[in-house]
Amino acid sequence: MALATPTAPASTADGPDELAAFRADTRAWLQAHCPPEMRQPMTSEDDVCWGGRHVKFSSPAQQQWLQAMAGRGWTVPTWPVAYGGAGLSSLQAKVLLQEMRALNCRSPLSSFGIWMLGPALLKFGNEAQKLDHLPKIARGEIRWCQGYSEPNAGSDLASLATRAEDHGDHFTVNGQKIWTSYADQADWIFCLVRTDTSHKHNGISFVLFDMASAGVSTRPILLISGKSPFCETFFDNVRVDKCNLVGTLNAGWDVAKYLLAHEREMIGSIGDRAAAKPIGQQAAAAIGKDTSGRLADPLLRAQIAEFEADEAAFRLTMERAGDLARAKQAHPAMSSMLKYYGAELNKRRWELMMAIYGSDALEWDSERSKHGDTARTWLRTKANSIEGGTSEVQLNIVSKRILELPGA
């Protein structure tokens, strides 16, 4: 869900009859074009399609599904047609999502380009940048990474020190980023650089460059889960042509904040996107039922019921936030609230999954535990309350900007 992505204006297409016809067409098209394999819940990271120059599809069905959806502009349904979207209104996009959910269709493409850079380019990019980058994002041809955090600039991001020196028609970038997710697999990076050392926030610019440029190198960071999804990223005299500056020189902080709001919405909806089987069903399959057909473990039953009620309430809250955004009444700090609660909810989901599968899930390398899949995902969720801004920082934002509590 992208709450504040610029969308096509509400039109007659949003009338009740038109929406009903759109729903019927959409359902028929999805039934005809979504391969049966793409209607199964995702069970591992291999099921996620990230696209990119060096994409390796896990199956012909995954490739076919991406091509079908991209061909219709439905990987980015609300983006204008000229930029690879379908120009749908946000109500039509909601119908599309509902119909995809009803058929259990997987998301055809996971992409930092779609979730983060695209919305920022639509708002701050010039026409040449939009035409160059957005269609490739929509088709999954270029994979992006995010160069924000540095060893001494995380929560206090505006302390970043990576320098971009002006050489007339280009910049030369030097410095280091850290925690750059998938930097070693990305084709391009959107990156915050310091272009003026005399101002903290007003000395930052937002630039784009190819990760294959001379002077870019990455070093993977190994995680507790045994995986290594992110890297340290180093820039040594990297040439960045000025046409790759997004927005105004030294005003990159505005682009950065706008993009962060989209990142936070994306992380907030992480449990929702997983499109896994409902947790109660998974528990029943693993633990069994009592004579009256209820989950055999009464303690777990109560915890799952509480979780599912909170999850349903959160889903409604996200819908409400989407409706408010469409009506241009959303609070600008709403993304912090959604990010905080969505991250905590996803952590709870995986605590419950560990309780359901018990000590079997802790086996790191066995067929029975699918090579520790549940435990690895459980460990990964610990990072949900850090990535995209920590829970503490989100709570600070909610207290100051939404609740208007006095600062410390």
Residue nearest to ligand FAD (CB): 154
Q: Are 82 and 251 in contact (CB under 8 A)?
A: no
Burial 95-129 (b: 16+ CB within 10 A, else e): bbbebbeeeebbbbbbbbbbbbbbbbbbbbbeeeb
Q: Does 179 bind ligand FAD (CB under 6 A)?
A: yes
Residue 156 · residue 165 · CB < 8 Å: no
158 touches ligand FAD by CB under 6 A = no
Q: Which stretch binds ligand FAD (CB under 6 A): 87-95, 312-320, 362-370, 380-388?
A: 380-388
Per-residue three-class SS string for 251-280: EHHHHHHHHHHHHHHHHHCHHHHCCCCCHH
Task: Give the nearest distance from C-beta 394 to ligand FAD in angstroms.
Answer: 9
The single-letter code of the amino acid at 135 is P
Shorter beta-carbon distance to ligand FAD: residue 14 or 387: 387
φ/ψ (deg, to 5) at 167: -125, 45
Tell me how far, at minimum, the Cβ of 157 lies from ligand FAD, in Å.
Answer: 7
CA distance 369 to 366: 6
Query: Would you say the C-alpha torsion 99, 121, 140, 223 has a positive or negative sign?
Result: negative
If one asks whether residue 25 binds ligand FAD (CB under 6 A), the answer comes out as: no
Report how many residues bind ligand FAD under the rule CB under 6 A.
21
By the rule CB under 6 A, 191 interacts with ligand FAD: no
User: CA gyration radius for the chain?
Assistant: 22
Nearer to ligand FAD, 26 or 180 (CB): 180
Residue 181 interacts with ligand FAD (CB under 6 A): yes or no: yes
Q: List the one residue from 261, 389, 397, 398 that touches ligand FAD (CB under 6 A).
A: 389
> Phi-psi bin for 262: left (phi > 0), alpha (psi -120 to 50), beta?
alpha
Pick the closer one to ligand FAD by CB: 230 or 350: 230
266 binds ligand FAD (CB under 6 A): no
**C-alpha pair distances (Å), 260 with each of 116, 157, 315, 339, 347:** 7, 11, 21, 11, 21
Q: Among 155, 228, 237, 248, which residue interacts with ligand FAD (rule: CB under 6 A)?
A: 155
383 binds ligand FAD (CB under 6 A): yes
Question: Which window, 73-81, 201-209, 276-284, 386-394, contacts ligand FAD (CB under 6 A)?
Answer: 386-394
Which residue, 50 or 74, is less far from ligand FAD as judged by CB?
50
Residues 125-154 that bind ligand FAD (CB under 6 A): 145-149, 154
As a whole number of angstroms, the distance between CA 324 and CA 329 comes to 5
**Other CB atoms within 10 A of residue 243 CB:** 12
Task: Tell me whether residue 322 or residue 388 sits nearer to ligand FAD (CB atom).
Answer: 388
Nearest residue (CB) to ligand FAD, 58 versus 176: 176
Closest to ligand FAD by CB, 145 vs 245, is: 145
Which window, 89-97, 162-170, 179-187, 350-358, contacts ligand FAD (CB under 6 A)? Answer: 179-187
Closest to ligand FAD by CB, 262 or 326: 262
**Contacting ligand FAD (CB under 6 A), which of 14, 47, 311, 387?**
387
Taking a C-beta distance cutoff of 8 angstroms, is the pair 79, 122 a contact? yes
Nearer to ligand FAD (CB atom), residue 138 or residue 267:
267
Cα 330-110-95 angle, rounded to 5 deg: 55
Q: What is the rounded CA–CA span in Å between residue 325 and residue 161?
A: 34
Q: Give, as one character, the DSSP assignment of residue 39.
A: G
Q: Is 393 in the site for ligand FAD (CB under 6 A)?
A: yes
Tokens 């410390």, residue? 408
Smallest separation (angstroms) from ligand FAD to the CB of 408: 9
Q: Can you tell me which of 254, 396, 399, 400 binds ligand FAD, judged by CB under 6 A?
A: 396
Nearer to ligand FAD by C-beta: 179 or 206?
A: 179
The residues in 197-256 that bind ligand FAD, with binding defined as CB under 6 A, are 230
Query: In residues, how long is the chain?
Result: 408
Query: E strands within 202-315?
Result: 204-210, 216-221, 230-241, 245-246
Query: Is residue 386 near ligand FAD by the rule CB under 6 A?
Result: yes
Residue numbers at the binding site for ligand FAD (CB under 6 A): 145-149, 154-155, 177, 179-181, 230, 383, 386-390, 392-393, 396
